[in-house]
């Protein structure tokens, strides 16, 4: 028992030091320039009213995930869409009456071409679909975060979707030597090549959320970054609530570029907007 406690203590200490070093490096290279989304051009409620009057519909991929759950709640509370469709591998159950008008399309992601109809007739698409290498293995991770995401975007584009919002990751780079960042960067580039009228890519840092399947390392990292970001820059971590708010608020805007990338500081700025 003493040996076990000693081993766990050493492991925790090593992990803490590692997280501290990573945080220090990120802080050193932090971009402290102000976000271009520091303020919205018009009053949020005015923007919401204008958008609501356009009678648009949307779909959400990954509504059962941590960010997807909060995004759905935010969309329902702000009520800017006339119809919301959840596209996923299983039917979700909700007790609150606020969810009773949702449409759910159950699909087999391995045979998405057979479910093209589920992606038709939507104006806006939100993608929070994803897994981890630790959970699904390298092949499973690529299949979900690249293959499923890209095929869904292709079907959405073919089905008439003009605006696509993709949750990615800070550091995404198709030339990266790290599988996670490489896959994220590849799918970003390939979705941009589809030519949506508007594409918004969100690159949050460490997501601050208490996952139900939380692993010790993830838990410690989130606690550390949460405390660290409270007194330092917001470039390293962000709450999923802020990410969801940013995605909804950004939907209301009309950017100059057809495709835009929102880094963590941009997401944090938009995530502060009170859309209620």
Measure the CA–CA gap between 42 and 46, rounded to whole angstroms. 7
**One of 157, 184, 245, 265 is an active-site residue; which one?**
184
204-214 in b/e form (b: 16+ CB < 10 A) is bbbbbbeeeee
Q: Does residue 184 carry a catalytic annotation? A: yes
139-150 in b/e form (b: 16+ CB < 10 A) is eebbbbbbebbb
Alpha helices in 99-215 (DSSP H): 133-142, 149-158, 179-192
**One of 37, 180, 202, 265 is an active-site residue; which one?**
180
98 contacts: CB under 8 Å, gap ≥ 6: 76, 77
Quickly count: other Cβ atoms within 10 Å of residue 136's Cβ. Answer: 15
Q: Does residue 180 carry a catalytic annotation? A: yes
168 contacts: CB under 8 Å, gap ≥ 6: 184, 187, 188, 201, 202, 203
Q: Tell me the residue length of the chain.
A: 276
Quickly count: other Cβ atoms within 10 Å of residue 95's Cβ. Answer: 7
184 contacts: CB under 8 Å, gap ≥ 6: 145, 168, 169, 172, 173
What residues act catalytically? Answer: 180, 184
């Amino acid at each position: 028992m003493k040996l076990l406690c000693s081993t766990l203590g050493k492991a925790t200490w090593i992990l803490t030091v590692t997280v501290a070093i990573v945080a220090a490096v990120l802080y050193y290279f932090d971009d402290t320039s102000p976000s271009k989304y520091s303020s919205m051009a018009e009053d949020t409620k005015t923007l919401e009213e204008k958008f609501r009057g356009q009678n648009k519909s949307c779909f959400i991929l990954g509504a059962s995930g941590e960010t997807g759950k909060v995004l759905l709640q935010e969309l329902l509370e702000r009520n800017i869409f006339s119809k919301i469709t959840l596209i996923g591998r299983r039917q979700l159950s909700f007790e609150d009456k606020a969810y009773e008008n949702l449409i759910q399309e159950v699909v087999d992601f391995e045979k998405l071409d057979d479910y093209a109809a589920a992606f038709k007739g939507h104006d806006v698409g939100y993608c929070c679909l994803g897994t981890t290498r630790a959970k699904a293995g390298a092949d499973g991770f690529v299949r979900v975060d690249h293959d499923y995401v890209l095929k869904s975007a292709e079907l959405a584009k073919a089905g008439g979707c003009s605006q696509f919002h993709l949750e990615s990751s800070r550091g995404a780079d198709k030339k990266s030597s790290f599988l996670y960042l490489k896959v994220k960067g590849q799918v970003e580039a390939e979705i941009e090549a589809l030519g949506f009228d508007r594409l918004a890519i969100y690159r949050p840092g460490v997501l601050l959320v208490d996952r139900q399947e939380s692993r010790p390392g993830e838990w410690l990292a989130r606690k550390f970054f949460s405390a660290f970001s409270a007194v330092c820059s917001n470039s390293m971590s962000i709450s999923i609530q802020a990410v969801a708010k940013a995605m909804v608020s950004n939907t209301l805007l009309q950017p100059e570029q057809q495709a835009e990338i929102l880094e963590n500081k941009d997401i944090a700025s938009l995530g502060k907007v009170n859309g209620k």
